[in-house]
A = this chain, B = another copy of it.
């Protein structure tokens, strides 16, 4: 009955897997890199680390134990690594794209050191096909909105906003296919 991990927790596991670090270091990453787009501050990071440690996915080792300013360096446990790998290699579903698109990209960002090249390519293909399906849905909605417009007294900003939604998914599919090509040619 594994509790599902939050995006923040997965981001922390991913970062710690790249290199064991302290809570403070993790705060810095969110403050100073584009990872910050996933938000987060000490008030969420430290409790998340505590949860992950309690569940045995992380292990915090005290460094500079004697000194007056100790710090805890977190490492993945084997269970933590396993969870990360499972997460990274799960298929991309429509729901992922609709409700948790940023999580999909987070997964991709950490895949490089978690799974093999084939798995990364499969992931990108799944993004492309699922996004195509979504686009069909969205375009249908866009058409019905256009038809309901007849008497255009106000600006159709609602439909135009949907237009952005469509553009944004098109750009995701394009990116996935482009990246896939790059990975194949650099093999």
The chain A residues found within 8 Å of chain B, CB to CB, are 33-34, 36-37, 39, 98-99, 105-106, 108-113, 117, 120, 138, 141, 154-158, 160-165, 167-168, 170-172, 174-175, 179, 182-183
**Docked-complex contact A172 and B164, CB < 8 angstroms:** yes
Contact of A160 among B108, B154, B161 (CB under 8 A): B108
Apart from A33-B141, A39-B99, 8 more pairs, CB < 8 Å: A37-B165, A108-B157, A108-B164, A109-B158, A113-B154, A117-B155, A164-B172, A168-B175
Chain B residues near A106: list those with CB within 8 A.
161
**Docked-complex contact B183 and A111, CB < 8 angstroms:** no
Chain B residues near A155: list those with CB within 8 A.
111-112, 117, 120, 183
Min Cβ gap A154→B in Å is 5
Question: Which are the 10 A-B pairs with shortest beta-carbon distances?
Answer: A112-B157, A109-B161, A171-B171, A112-B155, A112-B154, A113-B154, A109-B158, A111-B157, A164-B175, A167-B175
Min Cβ gap A77→B in Å is 21
Chain B residues near A120: list those with CB within 8 A.
155, 157
Chain B residues near A183: list those with CB within 8 A.
155
A-B contact pairs, 7 of them (CB 8 A): A33-B141, A34-B138, A34-B162, A34-B165, A108-B161, A109-B157, A160-B182
**Docked-complex contact B165 and A171, CB < 8 angstroms:** no
CA distance A99 to B41 in the complex (A): 13
CA distance A104 to B165 in the complex (A): 12
Chain B residues near A170: list those with CB within 8 A.
171
Contact of A158 among B36, B110, B164 (CB under 8 A): B110
Min Cβ gap A114→B in Å is 9
Chain B residues near A109: list those with CB within 8 A.
157-158, 160-162
CA distance A171 to B166 in the complex (A): 10
